[in-house]
Amino acid sequence: MDEILQRIVFGLTSGSIYAIAAVGLTLVYGILRLTNFAHGDLMTFGAYMAYTVTVMWNGHFILGLLAATVLTALLGLGTELAIWRPLRLRGSGVLQLMLVSIGLSLVIRYGLQFFYGADLRRLDVDVTSTNVIGGIRISDQQILIFVLAAIVLGLVGLLLAKTLIGASMRALSDNIVLAESTGIDTRRVISQTWLLAGGLAGFGGVLAAIFINVNPEVGWNLLLTVFAAVIVGGIGNPYGALIGGYVIGLAQELSTLVIPAQYKLLVGFVILVLVLLIRPQGIMGRRQAVT
């Protein structure tokens, strides 16, 4: 029993990271029909920004986290203005956009490797202290990740549910032409979506850096798992992505009770493949969204 609870703690920690990244990825897809393979590398960018501020410049952790979030949000918006908007205006197709995002992903990842090198680095966060609560070990970093993720996901949920910006984003995700015809300034909402998606990616990247480490591939290595969360939740659905993130995190960790831990990473990929084959609209999606 303790072992199961222990696994759940781990699953919720990694699930928090997947959920934060997945919400941004799914919003961008829902609104722009862009399968953004560079999303993981936005996370990596955030991780390196936090590294720069906290380790290289000895800044406070909160400052690094904020810098990473803001700078990655700006990078997301920058890619929209420099790449995605011009491509949309030229009427680029789904495959074209996907290939450009793959190219962009290489440029960001290896750009970071060029400037920072390929060595593993760590954020200056205490990784050793562990609390034992009722036989279950929870490290300080896990509590930190879990609390930060809960705050941010709560705020994002409120933003989407209660504010005009959030409602506009959901409207665009549902039907962009209809949204435009009701007088929503779609360009502005798209820019806001990129800021949100980029910011979340940067924030999630810092959490990933705390949990794993900082290296040029940290986000790329998470991308397919994040895609799994997006697909499980129904592509384009931010609430689904949030739940999908935790579902994948828990499934990965709980799987180690029955199969060797080295296959943990595969669990997310297998779920991704199975969901796409059996129920491509995800657990919460609607059928018409995928045809």
What are the phi and psi torsion angles at 184 (to 5°)?
-75, 135
Q: Does 120 bind other proteins (CB under 8 A)?
A: no
Q: Does 224 bind other proteins (CB under 8 A)?
A: yes
* Closest CB 263 distance from other proteins, rounded Å: 6
Give residue for tokens 């279950």: 136
Report the distance separating Cα 38 and Cα 54, nearest Å. Answer: 24
**Of 161 and 266, which has the nearer Cβ to other proteins?**
266
> Residues 163-182 vs other proteins: string with x where CB under 8 A?
--------------------
Q: Does 265 bind other proteins (CB under 8 A)?
A: yes
**Of 64 and 249, which has the nearer Cβ to other proteins?**
249
* Helix residue ranges, H only, the chain: 2-32, 39-51, 61-79, 85-89, 94-116, 140-162, 164-174, 176-181, 186-211, 218-232, 238-255, 264-278
Residue 139 DSSP code: E
Report the distance separating Cα 267 and Cα 247, nearest Å. Answer: 11
Q: Determine which residue in the list 21, 23, 104, 251 makes contact with other proteins, applying CB under 8 A.
A: 104
Q: Determine which residue in the list 1, 91, 258, 287 makes contact with other proteins, applying CB under 8 A.
A: 91
Among the listed ranges 53-61, 190-198, 207-215, 276-284, the one in contact with other proteins (CB under 8 A) is 276-284
Calculate ∠ Cα 276-33-197, nearest 5°: 95
Residues lying near other proteins in the complex (CB under 8 A): 35, 83, 86-87, 90-96, 98-100, 102-107, 109-111, 113-114, 117-118, 216, 224, 227-228, 231, 260, 262-263, 265-266, 269-270, 272-273, 276-277, 280, 290-291
